[in-house]
Amino acid sequence: MTDRTHASSSDVSDNLENWNDRAEVHAHGGYGDLDAFADDPTALTPVVMKDMAVLRDHLPDHTMQGRRLLHLQCHLGDDTLTWWRLGARDVHGLDFSPAALNHARRLAARAHAPITYVEGDARFASEVMPDKKGFFDLIVTSVGTITWLPDLREWAQSIASLLAPGGIFTIRDIHPLLFALDDDGLTIVQGWFSGTEITYETDQTYTMRQDDGEEERTGGIVGKAEAPGPRITHTTNHN
């Protein structure tokens, strides 16, 4: 039987290949000077600062101190390291790309941050780390994540089962409508509902100011995340 928790032979294997390639481009300049980021204990990423600005009000003491945190689709680990620097503990990062995780582990080691990185498909995270069911106070994923997942039902169930009672899941992502618009930002040229799939090839990545890859995108985010039981307490739009 195929192990669905690892993506190399699954329905997202093309995405995996693409992300392994991108990880190298991003690690070698695309994401700036990562060594300098690791070496500066005060350095934080704008992605996490923006998430934290919203999350803060939902945390019992308005801080990350001591929170057990899982970062899904952690990529090179600069955001994961930021969560640790903000006080999160028992920090875990999960991604399906071994290339991205190599860089994430190197970054954490350089920064002396005890972060655990796990390889696996985000849709099945609770199967990847079964010993962590009911463990995390916080699960986060941000910017350019669920657009890569063909279906969100198992993903949402997985998150629900990894959260501790009263735990918080937070997501910030690009509105799927943006993917349906033409470059002029005014004309709808594609459907944006769940299950719409775009397949394309290019040798660009977004750090070169272009988007690329084989992408499966899903609308109806809120309804799907809610399906297995979590209570949605806050949604907002950003420019």
Ligand X SMILES: C[S@@+](CC[C@H](N)C(=O)[O-])C[C@H]1O[C@@H](n2cnc3c(N)ncnc32)[C@H](O)[C@@H]1O
Q: How far apart are CA 5 and CA 27, in angstroms?
A: 25
Q: How far is the CB of 76 from ligand X (least distance, A)?
A: 6
For residues 35 to 54, the per-residue mask of contacts with ligand X, x marking binding by CB under 6 A and - elsewhere, is ------------x-------
112-124 residues labelled b (16+ CB within 10 A) or e (exposed): ebebebbebbbbb
Please state whether beta strands 116-119 and 89-95 pair in parallel, antiparallel, or not at all (unpaired). parallel
Cα dihedral across residues 64, 70, 75, 77: positive or negative: positive
30, 98, 144, 228: which one binds ligand X (CB under 6 A): 144
The yes or no reply on residue 118 touching ligand X (CB under 6 A) is: no
5, 97, 157, 218: which one binds ligand X (CB under 6 A): 97
Angle, alpha carbons 36-171-29 (nearest 5°): 25
The yes or no reply on residue 145 touching ligand X (CB under 6 A) is: yes
201: exposed, middle or buried (Cβ count in 10 Å: 0-12, 13-18, 19+): exposed
The yes or no reply on residue 121 touching ligand X (CB under 6 A) is: yes
Q: How far is the CB of 165 from ligand X (least distance, A)?
A: 25
The yes or no reply on residue 122 touching ligand X (CB under 6 A) is: yes
Nearer to ligand X, 28 or 62 (CB): 28
Number of chain residues interacting with ligand X (CB under 6 A): 22
The yes or no reply on residue 5 touching ligand X (CB under 6 A) is: no
Quote the tokens at residue 143: 């910017």
Sheet holding 89-95, edge to edge: 116-119, 89-95, 68-72, 136-142, 163-172
The yes or no reply on residue 73 touching ligand X (CB under 6 A) is: yes
The yes or no reply on residue 12 touching ligand X (CB under 6 A) is: yes
100, 139, 180, 221: which one binds ligand X (CB under 6 A): 100
The yes or no reply on residue 149 touching ligand X (CB under 6 A) is: yes
Return residues touching ligand X (CB under 6 A). Answer: 7, 12, 15, 19, 47, 73, 75-76, 79, 95-97, 100, 121-123, 142-145, 148-149
